[in-house]
Amino acid sequence: MVIVPRIAVVSCLSTTPFIYGIRHEGNLRAELSLSAPSETTRLFADGLADLALIPAAAYPTLKEARLVTEYCVGGVPKSLSALLACDDPLVEAWKPYGKLPCAFALWVARPEVEPETVEALQYALTYGLERGYEAILESPFADDPGRAYEGLAHFDYIFDNQKDKALKKFWDSGLKVAPRTNPG
């Protein structure tokens, strides 16, 4: 019996390539749920999603979560000036760490998710990131694809050691951040 993984993803500009990859890459058959950040966290916490892109601030509160894939939704110092100018409380809390690279959202999986499923997700995310403009053309942002594609340049999708260290410092600071219901 084939088990179709349930994937929860925040629906916003920054996740457009991920959504496109999950929908179009042929090796990952999944049930996709698009929602607000707090809803993706709730779906995962309640066991209604097997994999999820969750706000990084929520990760320490999820006992069943394990980080997966080499991707995130993040930024690096040179692109953070645009991100830090906004009034989103996930972003607002990062301002004291503005010189560090950051990851605003992370991919997590439940413990029982098979390595093959995580590998298929990784491949689908890569597929989508390699086709960012096509993803925009198929998204709610297609009305102004040039501007939307430029907006993607403010994000860095690689979850590297620097972002991992910065996140650990952020989590260790004890800040508690509740994600907004509409990421914009």
> Nearest CA to 152 among 167, 141, 164?
141
pLDDT digits (tens, 9 = 90+) for 69-112: 999 998 754 444 444 444 455 755 555 555 677 888 999 999 99
Helix, coil or strand: residue 54:
strand
pLDDT digits (tens, 9 = 90+) for 32-70: 999 988 899 999 999 999 999 999 889 999 999 999 999
Share of the chain above pLDDT 90, in %: 57
Tokens of 103: 């990851």
